[in-house]
Amino acid sequence: MKPRIYIARDLPEPVASYLEEHCECRYWQGPGDISEEQLAEKIGDAEGLLVTATPIGQAVLRAGSSLRVISNLSAGYNNLDLRALQQRKLIATHTPYVLDETVADLAMALLLAAARRVTAMDRLVKRGGWVKGMDAELYGLDVHHKRLGIIGMGRIGEAIARRAALGFEMDVVYYNRSPKPEAEERFGLRYCSMDTLLDTSDFVLLMTPLTPETKHLMGKAQFARMKSNAIFVNVSRGENVDEEALIYALQQGQIAGAGLDVYEHEPISVEHPLLQMDNVVTLPHIGSATAETRLNMAFAAARNLVHALTGQTPVQIVPELQQQ
């Protein structure tokens, strides 16, 4: 008998067909992203669940008493209540590696867009505001040869550092739980304290996973340390930043601008103060959103689910649950 699964998000056709071949599938039909409450209602007797950002905690686990495997279609898994999963001895998987280079591309795009005011200039041209050339009001900031401080030197951090150091000849410093001597040697990076990074960088780029230790890692004190002509970029998770503190720093001119792909509450409301600022580039959490990478991630999530349900190895089990 095929294992029963619930698919809580849209999947590209070849991935849906692969799952249909191996499992008995039920699907979330929308509208919109499934909420925790809706998932608890729908989960029924599913043994496997394929999900993205929906919180998976007591509510879903209580309702889904047959659940054995949760496959998270993302690299980050801060939506999973790991302690609750551990108690139930459930397998949870995620999709690291395939998105590293794609997210690094987007991080550089945000950094460049914020520094060279790409989206603000696009808006200016489209509203007929281009009346004379090279006006000082159109000036942005140089990127090449500037100092980039990366907070969080995992695989994506390294991919960003490589682009910045080798492509833009930036002076790259980083702060991480532990130093990465190999990356230092390969790309000429330098490890430093978080304070030194904040005090001296022209661009501060946040690339840490969201954990209880990193929540609001960037707050009032951290933004206050940044240079007034520095730009902050966040491609990690919105909750790593105290958004009130970021808004304050931008309003007070403590920093020059920001490039954001993620927010404390997503989707961000159109009324949000960050969306009213011309020196803030805002994207809708699209770090991994290319056709190629999303297809690869969807296949990885589907394979993880099928392999875990049918006892095959290897699957990309989230690190904290690998020992059970």
Binding site for ligand DGY (CB under 6 A): 74-76, 99, 287-288
CB of 105 to ligand DGY, least distance (A): 13
Of the residues 68, 162, 216, 285, only one is catalytic, namely 285
Judged by CB, which is closer to ligand DGY: 74, or 316? 74
State how far the Cα of 27 lies from the Cα of 282, in Å rounded to an integer. 31
State how far the Cα of 287 lies from the Cα of 146, in Å rounded to an integer. 23
CB of 19 to ligand DGY, least distance (A): 19
Helix (H, G, I), strand (E, B) or coil at 233: strand
State how far the Cα of 167 lies from the Cα of 49, in Å rounded to an integer. 41
CB of 24 to ligand DGY, least distance (A): 27
285 in catalytic set:
yes
CB of 126 to ligand DGY, least distance (A): 29
Judged by CB, which is closer to ligand DGY: 157, or 287? 287
Q: Could you give the dihedral angle defined by the CA atoms of residues 107, 109, 110 and 113, in that order, rounded to the nearest 10 degrees?
A: 160
Judged by CB, which is closer to ligand DGY: 99, or 161? 99
**What burial letters (b/e) apply to 21-36, b meaning 16+ CB within 10 Å?**
ebbebbbbeeeebbee
Judged by CB, which is closer to ligand DGY: 254, or 304? 304
At how many degrees (to 10) do helices 291-309 and 13-22 cross? 10
CB of 15 to ligand DGY, least distance (A): 16
237 in catalytic set:
yes
CB of 238 to ligand DGY, least distance (A): 10
Judged by CB, which is closer to ligand DGY: 99, or 283? 99
For residue 42, give the nearest of 19, 8, 65 by alpha carbon.
8
State how far the Cα of 23 lies from the Cα of 189, in Å rounded to an integer. 47
State how far the Cα of 119 lies from the Cα of 205, in Å rounded to an integer. 19
Judged by CB, which is closer to ligand DGY: 288, or 316? 288
Q: How many C-beta neighbours within 10 Å does residue 195 have?
A: 12
Angle formed at CA 139 by CA 133 and CA 143, multiple of 5 degrees? 130
The single-letter DSSP state of residue 273 is G
Q: How many C-beta neighbours within 10 Å does residue 181 have?
A: 10
Q: Are strands 91-93 and 147-151 parallel, antiparallel or unpaired?
A: unpaired
Judged by CB, which is closer to ligand DGY: 234, or 288? 288
158 in catalytic set:
no
Of the residues 94, 147, 237, 307, only one is catalytic, namely 237
Of the residues 20, 37, 41, 266, only one is catalytic, namely 266
State how far the Cα of 148 lies from the Cα of 164, in Å rounded to an integer. 8
CB of 288 to ligand DGY, least distance (A): 4
For residue 258, give the nearest of 278, 240, 244 by alpha carbon.
278
For residue 33, give the nearest of 57, 16, 54 by alpha carbon.
54
Active site residues: 237, 266, 285
